Amino acid sequence: MTQKLDRAQVKKVFDVFDYNGNGILSLAEIDRAVIELYPQLAKDKPAIMRAYKAADTSNDGFIDFNEFGRLTDLLHYYHELYKKFQQLDIDGDRRISYVEFKKGHDLMGIKGRSEKVLKAAFDEIDTNHGGYILFDEFCTYAAK
């Protein structure tokens, strides 16, 4: 279980990892901060990347202090989503097949057991129509 930080703790961590003192963090600095601050999240690279992209509200490729506070909140959110995603991803290939989806659709709150209902739900979530639900697609669906 991850523990959220208060603003003073976030500032302290931000300052520690702002190695060059420029007031912004690169993705490499964020990755290192996550490894040291949340070691249990270090393997959840898709969740880290999703949180990083969502926190970078200025779209400049860096995280400033205000965005860093948001990043820590998003890390918790996407970590929980990734845990659920991994439960559905039975074979561990970082994508959910239709067979895996049928076995665990209830974890996503999808009601119904008929093939027609499940296939329609799967196709709605699989927005790129690649035949698998990717983590980004899973997150988009979860946000609805």
**112 belongs to a structural domain:** yes
Per-residue pLDDT of 83-123, as tens digits, reads: 999 999 999 999 999 999 999 998 888 887 899 999 999 99
What are residue 63's DSSP bridge partners?
A: 25
2 in a domain, yes or no?
no
Counting the structural domains of the chain, the total is 2
Q: What is the mean pLDDT of each run of 10 residues along the chain (144 residues)?
A: 69 85 91 83 90 95 91 90 96 97 90 89 97 96 88
CB 4 within 8 A of CB 77: no
Residue 24 sits in a domain of what CATH number?
1.10.238.10
Three-state secondary structure of the chain: CCCCCCHHHHHHHHHHHCCCCCCEECHHHHHHHHHHHCHHHCCCHHHHHHHHHHHCCCCCCCEEHHHHHHHHHHHHHHHHHHHHHHHHCCCCCCCECHHHHHHHHHHHCCCCCCHHHHHHHHHHHCCCCCCCECHHHHHHHHCC
Does one domain contain both 25 and 65? yes
Q: Are residues 99 and 76 both part of a single domain?
A: no
Sign of the alpha-carbon torsion through 95, 50, 44, 106: negative
The whole-model pTM stands at 0.82
Structural domain for 24, as ranges: 7-86
Question: Could you say which of 38, 60, 86 is where a domain stops?
Answer: 86
